[in-house]
Amino acid sequence: MLLFTMCAGMFLVQLDVTVVNVALPAIGTGLHAGLATQQWVVDGYAVTLAAFLLTGGALGDVFGHRRVVLAGFALFGTASAACGLAGSAPWLVAARAGQGLGAALLLPGTLAVITTAYPGRAERARALGLWTGVSALALAAGPVLGGAVVTAAGWRPVFWLNVPVVLAAVFATRRLVPRGERRSGRRIDVAGVATAVPALGAGVYAVIDRNIVAGIVAAGALAAFAVVECRGADPMLPPDVVRRTSSPNFVAAAMNFTGIGAILVLTLYLQGVRHAGPLEAGLEVLPLFGPLSLLAPVAGRLTGRFGPRPLMVAGLALGALGMLNLLLLNENSGYPALLPTLLGLGIGMSLLTTAVVTAAVGGIPPERAGVAGGVNNTARQAGGALGVAVLGAVAGEPGGQFLAGLHAAGLIAGVLWLVAIGVTLAGVRAPRDNPVARAG
């Protein structure tokens, strides 16, 4: 029951990455929101999650993960209710940011609770395998569930559905998760958070709204963040870990840049160009998400046997070909013409996900593996937020020039993954005798 409860937290975090995408046209109509605002409905969540993810883990280390998980559930549920009540687009974006903050507390907290509850190596591996599988299932379920709810009852119940799940999870967490003691070994990197949030937030705003001033603010905040992290006593992004994991973290960011950004533009294509309904669009993107659930265990075993690099190269190649397939679409293309993109990206990400995490922690001492994993997860979330901003801005509103923008987005994403293949070949090393690679 404890494992089930923590998986429920992970399910909600990942579900809200994808569930909202098929609801965007209905949200745009209901709140009179254009494409830029719709991008912020997605990125308000993603930017906040990325910016506070490592802070959430540090708060759990200091105050106890049970307390932080409960706070995360409470914040996520309250923000979900605020999303459902939103009377304007800015209100919805702000509430989505609140969801992202709750998710930043839940994601590392649920993982830490499971790790503590299952001290044995074999049982921990099985528990984490289930936790990861639930994550993949949530990503796959999001578009279908969101499409069904929007079709039946509109977009607001998409967010209201979180509330009863959160209430049950809070009750179960209080009953099942032991109280943890506060620890004083770590400090909160306040300066890091204060510079990371404007760096990422202003950067995304600069891309979505084409705002030069925001770009300058983002560059300045990013420079300040780099200085703070190099000089801080307990930085959220330790420079030595960043240096040693730069290649897999670049690939991780590129993976989510394309994967999460593609979900937005493909949803716009299906609903805005092919005129699919929300449920139909959710079902039509299943070939992208289905492999994540089905192939994750296989990819884990292959990574353990061959190391992460072959899986990363194969996944990146398949995904790049899939995104370049968008260049072949025209106004008369049917759904079968889109399948190579969906399957190439879905299978590619299935091969990449476990391999990228393994590569990120494989060369790091065991006592630093948790920090390395957190840095990798932050790179993925930040990459996803930027992908929504960049690919959405390139594709533009569905209309006369949308297909040209879709072609450009496919070219950008495909070339980025081809570059990531070069980075993988040059910078990722995973000897067969690496125990972390075998465990992956």
How deeply is 154 buried, as exposed, middle or buried, from its count of CB atoms within 10 A (0-12, 13-18, 19+)?
middle
Q: What ranges in 232-277 are assigned the alpha helix state H?
A: 239-244, 246-268
Position 410 confidence tier, pLDDT thresholds 50, 70, 90:
very high
Per-residue pLDDT at 431 exceeds 50: no
Q: How does pLDDT run across 34-74, given as a tens digit for each residue?
A: 888 888 898 888 888 887 887 887 787 778 888 888 999 99
Q: Poorest-confidence range of 143-157, 368-382, 416-430?
A: 368-382
Q: How does pLDDT run across 8-18, given as a tens digit for each residue?
A: 877 887 788 77
What pLDDT is attached to residue 225? 86
Is residue 255 a contact partner of residue 381, using CB atoms and an 8 Å limit? no
Per-residue pLDDT at 122 exceeds 70: no
* Higher per-residue confidence, 133 vs 377: 377
How deeply is 172 buried, as exposed, middle or buried, from its count of CB atoms within 10 A (0-12, 13-18, 19+)?
middle
What pLDDT is attached to residue 424? 93
Per-residue pLDDT at 316 exceeds 80: yes
What pLDDT is attached to residue 408? 95
Q: How does pLDDT run across 274-295, given as a tens digit for each residue?
A: 888 888 888 888 888 778 777 8
Is residue 283 a contact partner of residue 266, using CB atoms and an 8 Å limit? no
Is residue 420 a contact partner of residue 254, using CB atoms and an 8 Å limit? yes
Q: How does pLDDT run across 138-193, given as a tens digit for each residue?
A: 777 777 888 888 888 889 998 998 899 899 989 988 888 877 655 555 667 788 87
